[in-house]
Amino acid sequence: MDLSKTIVLFDVDGTLTKSRLSVTEEMDSLLGELKKKVKVGLVGGSDLGKIAEQMSPKALDAEQAIYEVVNKYDYVFSENGLIAYEAGKLVGKKSMLGVIGEEKCQRFINFCLRYLGGIEIPVKRGNFIEFRTGMINVCPIGRTCSQEERLQFAAYDEQHKVRETMVSALKAEFGSEFGLQYSLGGQISIDCFPVGWDKTFCLQYVEAKFDRIYFFGDRTFPGGNDYELFADPRTIGHSVTSPEHTQQLLQELFFSS
C-alpha cells in the first residue's frame, strides 16, 4: 500500500486514551512508530487544553502541553476541528458565539440551567456548562466530578438516559430556530454546536491533500460524536471499543507485513 498520501485521524477519549485519562506509554510509542509511516492527526470533541493534558502527560504545565501536542502530531483538531492546528500552527478557529450571537447563547444557557436545576440524579457537582470557542458543553453531573463519580454517572446514564432525555428537551425547545446540533461526546456531557460543526468539519483541512483518510473512533453510533466522521464517504472509518482495540487494529493494518 502506498502510504505517502495517507493520513490516520484519531478520536481521543475511548480511542487513544480511557475517557479523560492520559495516553499510555505503549500507545504513545505506537503512535510514534505510525508517524514514521503516515501523517497522523487527532480529532477530539474536547477543547485543546484537555486534549493536550491527555496526550502530553509529561509536560510541566498546560502551555507546554499544548505546545508539545500541536508540534508532535501533523494535525490537532480540537472541539471537532473548530480549532485546527497543522504542523504546530493555528490554521482555523470558529466561534459559536460569533454565529448565534449573545442573545441566543443566553437563552440557550438559561434553559439548560433551568432544566438541570429541575432534575435529580445520584450526584451533582460543579461546572455544568462549559462555554468553549466552538461549542457549549453541558454536563448534568458537573465537570468537576471525580473519576469515580464520572464512571458512576456514565453507568446511571446508560440506564436512565439522562442525556438523551435532555437532548430531546433541547430539540423540543429550540427546534431548528437556533440551528444547533447535539452529540453525546463522551461519558457525562452533551456537546452543543451549530449544525455541521461535527467532526467532519476537520475534513476541509485534509481532504485535498490525502487519498486515504482513516478515522478511528469509539462513539460511532448515531448521536455519538464520532458518528458523522466515521460514516462520511471521504473516510475509511474504524469503530473501536477501547484503546487496546485501536492498538490491535493499527498493528494489523500498518505493521503486519
Report if residue 45 touches ligand M1P, rule: CB under 6 A: yes
| Nearest-angstrom CA–CA distance, 156 and 188 | 10
Helix (H) / strand (E) containing 153: helix 147-160
C-alpha cell at 71: 508540534
By CB under 6 A, residue 6 contacts ligand M1P: no
The interface mask with ligand M1P, positions 76-115, x = CB under 6 A, is ----------------------------------------
Q: How far apart are CB 183 and ligand M1P at their closest, in Å?
A: 7
11 catalytic residue (yes or no): yes
Query: How far, in Å, CA of 69 to CA of 71, rounded?
Result: 5
226 catalytic per annotation = no
In the complex with ligand M1P, the residue whose CB is nearer, 31 or 210, is 31
Q: For residue 220, state whether it binds ligand M1P (rule: CB under 6 A).
A: no
The x, y and z cell numbers of residue 87, run together, are: 504542523
Please, what is the minimum distance in Å from the beta carbon of residue 1 to ligand M1P?
29
Taking CB under 6 A as the criterion, the residue among 189, 220, 235, 246 binding ligand M1P is: 189
Per CB under 6 A, the list member of 18, 50, 199, 238 interacting with ligand M1P is 50
Does 137 interact with ligand M1P (rule: CB under 6 A)?
Answer: yes
Q: Is 46 an interacting residue with respect to ligand M1P (CB under 6 A)?
A: yes
DSSP state for residue 235 in the 8-state scheme: S
In angstroms, what is the minimal distance from the CB of 163 to ligand M1P? 9
Residue 185 within binding range of ligand M1P, rule CB under 6 A: yes
Largest CA-CA distance found in the chain, in angstroms, rounded: 57
Q: In what order do the strands lie in the sheet with 83-86?
A: 89-93, 83-86, 75-78, 39-43, 6-10, 212-217, 236-239
Does position 191 bind ligand M1P by CB under 6 A? yes
CA distance 27 to 30: 5
Closest CB to ligand M1P among residues 159, 257: 159
Distance CA 38, CA 36 (A): 6
CB distance 13 to 51 below 8 Å: no
Using CB under 6 A as the criterion, which residues of the chain lie in contact with ligand M1P when the complex forms?
Answer: 13, 19-20, 44-46, 50, 137, 185-189, 191, 225
